[in-house]
Amino acid sequence: MFDMFFPDRYVASTYVIDFEKLYERGYRGLIFDIDNTLVPHGEPADERAVRLFERLKGIGFSCCLISNNQEPRVKMFNEKIQVDYVYNAHKPSKKNYRKAMEIMGTDTDTTVFVGDQLFTDVWGAKRSGIASILVKPIHPKEEIQIVLKRYLEKVVLFFYKRSLAMEKKVEKRHHIL
């Protein structure tokens, strides 16, 4: 029932993702949300974000930011990062996920999306056929509409974690046979 909102992976932070392994697996494009995925809401790119994007470019990834924010916010964050971006993206609409892939020259098989929200970021990626990694929000301070969505996300994440546990039980059973 909730599986349309389930990410392909759920990790503690963008900064713990093994991007080298993703590259080895054939992924070439990374699409990122900004607020609470890379930095706290409304903040400019910090040193950690700058180092991450230098590393990603060094690995060989094409990167694109996709945000529901207006251009001044996205442009301000991108000043030190210098990657492509799409602003006012209307996530979870598929249109701008596709636009990001077009900009990067990637497709659904070679692109991964990284974001902190199930109902915009992950759902949009799933609807677009892109692998998704959900990260825990960096900072608890959020706009009221996001705070309300977080309560619903907790319900979905409960079922997501339960489905992972069930899969592990099934895998264990099949390994015994």
d(CA 148, CA 40): 18
By percentage, how much of the chain surpasses pLDDT 70? 87
Three-class secondary structure of residue 81 per DSSP: coil
Check pLDDT > 60 for residue 161. Answer: yes
Phi and psi for 106 in degrees, rounded to 5? -115, 180
Indicate the pairing of strand 29-32 with strand 131-135.
unpaired
Mean pLDDT, residues 120-127: 95
Closest alpha carbon to 134 in 9, 17, 31, 16? 9
Comparison of pLDDT for 177 and 29, the residue scoring more: 29
Check pLDDT > 70 for residue 100. Answer: yes
Q: What angle do CA 147, 148, 150 make, to 5 degrees?
A: 65
For position 164, what pLDDT does the model report? 79
Check pLDDT > 90 for residue 165. Answer: no
